[in-house]
Each structure stands twice: as C-alpha cells, then as structure tokens.
Amino acid sequence: MTPLIETRNLNVRFGGVHATRDVNFTLAEAELRCVIGPNGAGKSTFFKLLTGQVKPTSGQILFRGRDISRMKPHEPGRLGIGIKTQVPSLFNGLSVWENVWLSARRTNSAVRANQITGETLERVGMAAHRKTLAGLLSHGMRQWVEIGVVIASDPPLILLDEPAAGMSDSEVARTAELILEINRKHALVVVEHDMNFIRMIAKTVTVLHQGAVIKEDTPDRIMSDPLIQQIYLGKKPQ
Amino acid sequence: MNRFAQSWMSAALVLAIGVALMFGLPGVMDDYTLLQGTIYAVMALLGVSLGFIWGFGGILCFGQAAFFGIGSYTYAIAVVNMGDSTVPFMLAIAVPALFAAILGYVIFFGRLSDVYMGVITLTVTLILFNLINSTAGPEWKIGVAPLGGFNGIPGIPTLNYPGKVDQALSPLELFYLTMACLLITYLGLRCLISSKIGRVIIAAKENEQRVLLLGYDARLYKLFSFTLGGAIAGLAGCLFANWGAFTSPTIFGLAQSAQIIIWVIVGGLGTLVGPMVGCIAIQWLTTQIGTQQIFNSNLVLGGILVVFVLLVPRGVIPSLGIALEWLWTRLMPRESSSSPQTVTAPPIAPSRVPDTAPATMVVVATDEEQAA
C-alpha cells in the first residue's frame, strides 16, 4: 500500500550546514508518529521540507506517491498537509472564529465553512472565545486555536510542532486527548520534547540527530536506549 | 478595528451620509463650491484606492499617483481620438488596472520585499512624470491627441451620455456621477472585505506564512488587491480629467504621491472612510491656509501634520471609533465577557491530570544521582 508520506534520501544544506542528511521516513494513512531529537537535530527543518517552506537540496518527498519536493509554498497545504508551527502562527488581528473559518472556507462553501468552524471550535474547546482576537489569547489557547485552524481544513496529514510546549500538566493531558481524538481520522507527525506526553500518544518514535534518522522504535525502548540518553544528556553508554 | 467599524451598521451610516451629501449639497451650494465638492470626491476616491491596498492588503504603494495619472491621460487621449466618452471611460479604468497587474506581477511573483515595493512604485511614478514631461513637441501625439509635455492636455471633452456625443454632463451631473462612483466603490469594497477574498487579503497582511500553509496563494490575492487599487485610482484620474477638462504631468509628481499617503495616515489606516475624511480635511485645510498671507502655507500644514501624527497616530476615524466604543461600553450594560484568562478545556479532555512525572525528568534525576 502506498504510504501517506514518504521521504527518500532527503537532504538539505544551508551553506556549510547539512541540516537534513539522507532522511528516509515513511508514514502510513492515519498513523501517529512522534519525532524527537535535541535542539538543532533538524526537526523543524524536516517539517519545513514537508510543507514546502524549504526546498530539498536532494532527495524526494512523496505524498501518496506524488513527488511534492519542488512544489510552491502554498501547494502542500492545498494537497492536504496541515501544520501547527512551534510558535503559534495565527492571524492576530482576526478573531478566533475568522482564523478557523479561513481554513475551513478554502475547500468549502460559506455555509459549510460556518458549520465546520462552529464544530471545530467546540472540538478544541474554544467556542466561548470565538469573538476574541487571536492576538489576545494565552499561549495554551493559541495552541488549541492553531490546532483548530489545522483540522478545520480536514487534511489527511497533520504536522504538530511541539503542541504541548509551555502548557500546564492539565493542558498537556487535554492536548494529548485531543491529538488521539484527531488521530482517529488523520495521520499525525508530532515533534515533542516531553517524553511523558509522547508516551501518552505515540506507539512509534523517530529520533533525529544532526539531521539524520538514528532510530525508530517504541517510546519505552527509545527512552531506555543508551545512545539516545547520550545524545540528550551527554551521557556515555555504559 | 473596533466592532462598530466592522459592522454593516457603520457601512449603512456612511452610505446614508454620502447619499445625503450627494443630493443635499447641490441645493445649498453655488456652482463654484459644487465644483470644489466634485474635486474633493475625486480625491477621496483616490484616497480610498490607497486606503484599501495599504490598510487591508498591507501594500504600501508610493506610486498610487501613477495609476491616477495613467487613468487621467488614458481618458484624455482616448476621448480626444474617439469623441464619444463611453469607451474612454472604461479604458481609463482598464489601462491603469492592467498596468498595476503587470507591475504587481513583477513585484509579488518576483518575491520582492516591502522596501523594494516602495522603491519600485515610487520610481515608476517618477519615470512616468519625466516621460510625460518630455513629450512637449508636436511630434508627440497618439492619434490626433497631442501629449503636450509639461503643458499637459487642455480642453479634454467632458463625459457624455453613452452614445450621445452632443449630450455632455453638466457640472451638477458630474458631481452626481463622482459621488455615485465614490459610494459604489465604498460599498463594493465593504462587500469585498467581508467576502472570502477580502478576508484572505487581510489575513495575508496579518500573517502571509500562515496563509500559504492554509493552501492559499498569497501572491494572487495581493496581486488582485493591487490591481483593484490601480483600477480605482484610474477611475479617479478619469474623473479628475473631467473635472478640470485638463490634465498635466504634475499629477504623476512626488508631491501628489506623498499627499495620498498623508490622507490615509491622517484619516486612519485600516478603514475605508478614514482616507476619505483625511483627504477632504487636508484638502480643505490646504485651501484655507492658502487664503491667508501671514504664514507660509506649507510650513503650517507640515506643522499640523507632525502634531497630528504624534498625537493621533491611529488617525481620525479609528480614534473616533475607539472613543465611541469606550462611551458605548460605559453607557450600555456589559455582556458576559469571554476573557482570555478563562480557559475552557476541549470537551474530550480527561478530568484526571496524570500524576506521573515527565519521563525526561526521571532520566535527569537518575543521571544526577549517578553523578553524585
């Protein structure tokens, strides 16, 4: 069966920096994968490659078998790749409703977009704040609104870059539940540092280090792996 | 922008005032003052064209006067050649729109930054100014219409009823037409802003990257708003040529370009009424200062503008809107507020908070213990 997304020997260089090295990554339809790695591992660059914000130096990105590695910046979104960025990226001067509506409206009629927007805001728990300007929301709420923006367009693939960053324990738990609920229908790739959060949502974790995939395994095995401990903590394997 | 400014009630209020002025002013004004009213409305239309692309599209164009001038010259040249003004009127809108589309394509699809946007539009305006200025000789003509160089084109035939060359519009009819153009443009832009296209244009100003990630081609929406702004400025240019039956290269000048920006700043960025109010206020002030001999008019005007920008940086209309909203909330009982601080959890959220510590912290503790 054709994977939802597949990268083949993906490389990107910024001058002398080799940010992504021969990344081979495969994700099936409706799969949930967590990606971890220390700062500078290339996680965000990997997301930027998948969403067309950065063009690969070499290699391929296949979305349902179609090469999307040279697409224009708006085309991956059109195909159905949604992303929640590390720093919430919203339209601060527009209301919560308008933020989600713009996402729903791209592929739906105005009436249907209104309906989807209402349902999405209920789903992410932001219905009470629909008239509030996005720029006035707290960090956690901005994260939820951005998740709402992403799911409103019903993309088959959702990329979440640190969705639980800066959240309290209760907010983290709520976000994990929300992600699992979204995963019933959508495939997700989640970049996160919080291993407890990863345990709550993921069956498989991919570890990136210095731009390369160094391991793919279950969260428990990843966490007990001496190499991963060394990478994260600078501890030498026993 | 406050809620009243965004509401259809504000649009209805503006239209009501506009219609009242349109039909009320001719009854109380003599012909000369009515001509003044016409030029105010023409300039207000030019102000709205920049107010739309800058305030809603985030495109600071230093060359709006270029489209204004092209509209004016297109009408003049076409009507001198054709006689009937129907097609020249349409050309005066279409040609500047086409010019804006070509210029916008180079800028937006060439991914030039905002700084270059300003430089290019200003340069294009100055090139047109110099180009038209150097067309003084009799050899410079298009069809039978001499370009006139720095002397401009005098005696431009006024608009006539479609297909009836001998039935030219009277000054009163030109006033009605200009006001109608202004009000229809305002209403059309309000409808556009409320539509999907308008919201994407505003969203692209707010966060272009997010617009792209949603799958909208931001460049197309910017190009559309820039082209529309060019078309409106061209329409204003056509009406300007009709108002004085004359056009000259000075309308491409630096002063004209700067003036439009000042109207928008004074009236208020992010509104459509603001540029109209700013334009009329500044134009009126300029005229009034020009009637006295004690102070240099440019000095007084400059001083007023500096004081204004420092004290009312948002502009007249947004500041007025904020004051009215403040007054409204004071006078009216408060609605149940949805404060950002009151976090509502997603409905599928679990009631229990996990009591296990984050795994990463466990690893850190183990490491520290080992180190100890």
Residues of chain A within CATH 3.40.50.300 domain(s) are 1-80+158-168+187-238
Tokens of B49: 């064209």
pLDDT at B356 over 50: no
B293 burial via Cβ count (<10 Å: 0-12, 13-18, 19+): exposed
Size of interface A-B (CB pairs under 8 A): 144
Question: Residue A24: phi, psi to the nearest 5?
Answer: -115, 115
Residue found by looking up tokens 């709420």 in the block = A141
pTM of the complete model: 0.86
Question: Residue B143: phi, psi to the nearest 5?
Answer: 65, -120
Which of the residue ranges A217-226, B62-71, B236-245 would you say has the lowest mean pLDDT?
A217-226
Tokens of B266: 């004074």
Q: How far apart are CA B81 and CA B145, in angstroms?
A: 6
Q: How far apart are CA B139 and CA B136, in angstroms?
A: 8
Are B347 and A123 within 8 A, CB to CB? yes
Q: What is the pLDDT of residue A196?
A: 86
Q: Which amino acid is at B279?
A: C
Q: What is the pLDDT of residue A235?
A: 59
Contacts of A123 in chain B (CB under 8 A): 346-348
pLDDT at B240 over 50: yes
Please name the residues in contact with A77: beta carbons below 8 A apart, sequence gap of 6 or more: A51, A52, A153, A155, B212, B213, B214, B215, B216
Fold of A1-80+158-168+187-238: Rossmann fold (3.40.50)
In this structure, the number of other CB atoms found within 10 A of the CB of residue A24 comes to 12
pLDDT band at B2 (very low <50, low <70, confident <90, very high): low
CA distance A13 to chain B (A): 22
Write the pLDDT tens digit of every residue in B154-168: 999 999 999 888 899
**SS3 category, A115:** helix
Are B214 and A131 within 8 A, CB to CB? no
A74: DSSP letter? T
Q: What is the pLDDT of residue A238?
A: 52
Q: Which residue of chain A is at minimal alpha-carbon distance from B195?
A: A110
Q: What is the pLDDT of residue A161?
A: 92
Residue range B106-127: average pLDDT? 89
Q: Are the CB atoms for B216 and B202 separated by under 8 Å?
A: no
Q: How many CA atoms lie within 13 A of B180 on its CB side?
A: 6
Beta-sheet pairing, A5-14 with A58-63:
antiparallel
Which of the residue ranges A216-230, B265-279, B357-371 would you say has the lowest mean pLDDT?
B357-371
Q: How far is CA B17 from CA A149, B10, B273, in A?
A: 39, 11, 11
Q: Percentage of chain B surpassing pLDDT 70?
A: 88
Q: Which residue has the higher pLDDT, B300 or A119?
A: A119
Q: Which residue of chain A is at minimal alpha-carbon distance from B217?
A: A74
The helix (H) or strand (E) run that includes residue A13 is strand A5-14
Helix, strand and coil in chain A, % to nearest 5: 40, 25, 35
CA distance B372 to chain A (A): 14
- A159 forms beta bridges with A83, A189
B84: DSSP letter? S
Q: Are the CB atoms for B147 and B153 separated by under 8 Å?
A: yes
pLDDT at B211 over 80: yes
Q: How far apart are CA B259 and CA B256, in angstroms?
A: 5
Q: Which residue of chain B is at minimal alpha-carbon distance from A129?
A: B338
Divide the 238 residues of chain A into consecutive groups of 10 and give the mean pLDDT of each group.
Answer: 91 90 93 91 92 93 93 93 91 95 94 96 93 91 92 94 85 89 93 88 91 91 87 63
**SS3 category, B353:** coil
Q: How far apart are CA A169 and CA A160, in angstroms?
A: 18
Q: Percentage of chain B surpassing pLDDT 90?
A: 62
The helix (H) or strand (E) run that includes residue A36 is strand A32-36
pLDDT at B236 over 80: yes
Tokens of A206: 């991919």
For chain B, report the end-to-end CA distance as a whole number of angstroms: 59
Q: What ipTM was reported for this prediction?
A: 0.91
Are A103 and B214 within 8 A, CB to CB? yes
Helix, strand and coil in chain B, % to nearest 5: 70, 5, 25
pLDDT at B306 over 90: no
Q: What is the pLDDT of residue B180?
A: 97
| Cα torsion angle, B76, B80, B81, B83, sign | positive
B196, B214, B359: residue with CB nearest A199: B359
Q: What is the pLDDT of residue B337?
A: 43
pLDDT at B220 over 90: yes
Q: How far apart are CA B296 and CA A18, in angstroms?
A: 63
B312 burial via Cβ count (<10 Å: 0-12, 13-18, 19+): middle
Contacts of B360 in chain A (CB under 8 A): 193-196, 232
For chain A, report the end-to-end CA distance as a whole number of angstroms: 41
| Average pLDDT of every residue of chain B | 85
pLDDT at B372 over 80: no
pLDDT at B273 over 70: yes
